[in-house]
Structure 1
Amino acid sequence: MKLPVPTGYHPYCSKVQTLPLIPAIKPTFRRSGWARMDSTVRRNRTKHKVVVIMGATGTGKSKLSIDLATRFPAEIINSDKIQIYSGLDITTNKIQMHERQGVPHHLLGDFDSSHAEITPSQFRSVAAAAISDISSRRKLPVLAGGSNSFIHALLVDRFDSESDPFNGSDSVSTELRYRCCFLWVDVSFAVLSDYLSKRVDEMLGSGMLEELAKFYDPDEDESRPKTGLRKAIGVPEFDRHFRKYPPVDQGIIAGNPKKKKDDPEMESFEEAVKAIKDNTCHLAKKQIEKILRMRGAGWDLKRLDATEAFRVLLSSDSGKKSSEIWEKQVVEPSVKFVRRFLEE
């Protein structure tokens, strides 16, 4: 089995390569001077400072990370366990290149999921390497993503890969190996649910169906557990649809999907879309529960209420007003928190 690791890493590198799986990833990355993670971090007298942007899916974490990185000398590290893989950019809702405004992104689409799945332990190593690299160049690492198991694995001082602090009796550790400024972007669940439903429709309008049709593998063994990119919401839901109605037969790959009303094919399509929306909302609920667990354990999460910005965004006259609310209620307090954090 091989573990995908980006070799000769550079923030703008888009090549996906693989290295043999080893017990613990210890990247050398000599050109950028990356150190080996755990031992180096413990030897450092001063802990690296890291800004951590948390929140449920769809709450604007990527947007806030860009807002901050254009105001501070920062680089962004992705902590979404699905966006870490290359491919399905629409389905996984990766931030588009033009939206990044030239800000370097790390671990975003850098891994090939066809060989193996990135574990929390492995993410701990490669993300710590990115933090060391960014900090060594006097830039601020900004961690952004919704995978709280990855965030916990990276940040805690002593990580036990055998325990799960979010499922069972194991507790969330409060001993962190970095100095962190936690920003939690929160949206009331009722408003967020409506927005997530709308976002799925927008993703379908942007080519999500065609993307999934090309990704579909009719020869895949259905009994095998889903790993890596195949866990992305949208893949299993539309795989079930495509097994009944192959995408080639529907003309989807050619870009001309049939849209017949009141027939079994359209009913199957609508069932897949509903399942995607339901599963996305379920994911958001689980993410919020994990965030609350970390906060309850003592993590100093600074809550930013983005509900009004999203409520206006869902209204007919969204546009500029929503952006103004976002700037005032989310960006401005975030900037103050980060500035104070850097001055400490």
Structure 2
Amino acid sequence: MKLLPPPNPNTTSFHYHGGGAANNINQLDHHCCPVKKNKVMPLLQHFFSSPSILPCKKNTNKNQNFIIKWAPRMDSITTIIARPTSDAAADLLLLRHHYRKNQRLAAQKEKLIVIMGATGAGKTKLSIELAKRFNGEIINSDKMQVYKGLDITTNKAPINERGNINHHLLGDFDPELGELTRSDFRRLTWSKVKEIESRNKVPFLVGGSTSFVHASLTDRFNPATNVFDRSNSSNSVSSELRYDCCFLWVDVSFNVLCEYLRKRVDEMMDSGMVEELAEYYASGSLSRHPGLRNAIGVPEFYDYFNSKGYDSVDEGTLYEDAVNDIKDNTCRLAKRQIEKILRLKTAGGWGLQRLDATSSFRKVLTSYENEKEDWREIWTRQVVEPSFKTVKKFLEEE
């Protein structure tokens, strides 16, 4: 047996002499091959015993030479190339075709629907509609919504608006246990995907915290590296993912989105956000919550709540300043999120399907109350229906 030199540090190539018969696999010479037997053998058995390649097995020569490329970091065989010693070349090409078709099964990558977008772009609404249609469950990837508390301030979807869909990592984490890191979220996401898959449900990862999304999806993650720091050219975005992902990016023209976000802040104030923050400050939780205290709304109201009771302080001005700061900071957050999404798409080559929801948002901002149905029709036509077709096709693929 002749061992081929590895084409790169992550791949090992070697000859296997003996053709497609499963009982001849043991002829692999492990003494000259640096790949561990307990990893290679099960995958070879899976390949050569697969029913999908049985039709072309009968024409494979038992003295066939194969070149097998093995990727140790992925624990999978990446390519099997046959070198014909007879006229069975066509059958051997078919053999390669069937192998590549079954490659995903050998790698055992879970399918995952990933819905991204800036804050307020409609990710939650779309995810619930799709989860209903595709028997799905939703994993939250908003770094502030993972914590218990401040439901209005962090804009968690109320239970009665979740469409009876199971939501995970949404208000599940006790903020007094510390700040949830990207590594923590990566571990939790992996566990939740496995859990959802075990129930034969479709997992959806939904949220605007792009750093959490990147940490949970990339195949090799380095917590010491910030891939969104463009000042460091060595911080590259990997295109290798640990799941088989379908990416949906809900996008809204920034000027339209920012106008909508300002309006949404006013609605949050009317829904009891100030009272929620007053209770939070009164409880003394600020010093005990290193993560949740960074939610937009908490630091902006610091001066207002710490100055109450002093006659010399114009509370009305402090209140207006806090609300305006929340609006400005929310728009800044949306801009940063869009920039990070674009980096994943361009630098990382992530296949994000952009869904332009601008028309429906513009309709929301310009419609009277009795015209609200119009924006829903636009939303369905321009966002929901294209998403449905994409997800359906993705789930039907092998």
Instruction: Report the TM-score range of the alignment, normalised by the length of the smaller protein.
Output: 0.7 to 0.9
TM-score, normalised by the number of residues in structure 2: 0.70
Moved more, 314-323 or 77-86: 314-323
Say which SS state the counterpart of residue 212 (structure 2) adopts. helix
Q: Does 1:283 align with 2:333?
A: yes
1:270 to 288, 308, 320: 320
**Residues 188 and 110 from structure 1, CA distance in 2 versus in 1: closer, same or farther, beyond 3 angstroms?**
same
State the SS of the aligned residue for 1:114. helix
Q: Map residues 100-179 of structure 1 onto 2, 5 A cutoff.
A: 100-167=162-229, 168-169=232-233, 170-179=235-244
Q: Aligned match of 2:129 in 40, 64, 67?
A: 67
Which whole-Å CA distance do the structure 1 matches of 2:160 and 2:206 have between them? 18
**Secondary structure of the residue that 2:219 maps to in structure 1?**
coil
Q: Specify the code of the residue in structure 1 equivalent to 2:291.
A: G
Whose RCO is larger (CA < 8 A, sep 6+)?
1
Which aligned pairs between 1:85-100 and structure 2 lie closer than 5 A? Answer: 85-100=147-162
* Distance (Å, rounded) in 1 between the aligned partners of 2:303 and 2:130: 40
- State the 1:220 CA deviation: 7.4
Structure 1 residue identity aligned to 2:243 = Y
SS in 1 for 2:333: helix
CA RMSD of aligned residues (A): 2.0
**SS at 2:115's partner residue?**
strand
Which residue among 324, 329, 339 is the counterpart of 2:392?
A: 339
User: Residue 314 of structure 1 aligns with which residue?
Assistant: 365
> CA shift at 1:316, angstroms?
3.0
Quickly say closer, same or farther: Cα 1:309–1:220, change in 2 above 3 A: closer
Q: Check 1:267–1:62 CA distance in 2 against 1; reply closer, same or farther (3 A cut).
A: same
Q: Establish whether residue 241 from structure 1 lines up as the match of residue 304 from structure 2.
A: yes
Change (3 A) 1:334 1:215: same
CA distance in structure 1 between the aligned counterparts of 2:137 and 2:359, rounded to whole angstroms: 28
After superposition, give the CA deviation of every residue in 1:28-85 in whole Å (9 maximum; x if it has no partner): xxxxxxxxxxxxx968732000000000000000000001011111000000000000
Distance 1:220 1:106, change over 3 A: closer
Aligned residue number for residue 30 of structure 2: none
Task: Provide the secondary structure at the position in 1 that maps to 2:176.
Answer: coil
Structure 2 CA distance for partners of 1:142 and 1:219, relative to 1, 3 Å: closer
Ranges in structure 1 where 5+ consecutive residues have no aligned partner: 1-40, 251-262
Distance in structure 2 (CA, Å) of the matches to 1:176 and 1:218: 42
CA contact (8 A) 2:176 2:288 kept: no
| Contact 1:181/1:338 (<8 A) preserved | yes
The letter for the 2-side match of 1:184 is W
- Out of 224, 236, 250, which is 1:185 matched to? 250
Matched residue SS, 2:250: strand
Task: Report the AA paired with residue 333 of structure 2.
Answer: L
- Matched letter for residue 237 of structure 1: E
Q: Distance in 1 between matches of 2:284 and 2:131?
A: 43
**Structure 1 residue 337 displacement after superposition:** 0.4
Secondary structure at the counterpart of residue 216 of structure 1: helix
Residue in 2 that maps onto 1:325: 378
For the pair shown, which has the larger CA radius of gyration, 1 or 2? 2
AA of the residue aligned to 1:322: W
Query: 1:300 and 1:101 mapped to 2: Cα distance?
Result: 28
Partner of 2:353: 302
Equivalent pair of 1:218/1:243 in contact (CA under 8 Å): no
- For residues 115 and 255 of structure 2, the distance between their equivalents in structure 1, rounded to whole angstroms, comes to 22
Percent of pairs with identical residues: 57
Q: What TM-score results when the alignment is normalised by the length of structure 1?
A: 0.80
Q: Gapped runs of 5+ residues in structure 2? A: 1-73, 77-105
CA contact (8 A) 2:117 2:251 kept: yes
SS of residue in 2 equivalent to 1:337: helix
**Structure 1 residue 115 displacement after superposition:** 2.4
Q: Are 1:230 and 2:293 counterparts?
A: yes
Q: What amino acid is aligned across from residue 382 of structure 2 in structure 1?
A: Q
Q: Aligned ranges for residues 248-259 of structure 1 at < 5 Å?
A: none
> Aligned partners of 1:202, 1:266: CA distance in 2, in Å?
18
Closer, same or farther in 2 for the Cα pair 1:184/1:220, shift >3 Å? closer
State the alpha-carbon separation in 2 of the partners of residues 111 and 212 from structure 1: 19
The SS at the match of 1:237 is helix
C-alpha deviation, 1:135, in angstroms: 1.1
Measure the CA separation in 1 of the matches of 2:204 and 2:308: 43
Distance across 2 between alignment mates of 1:61 and 1:342: 20
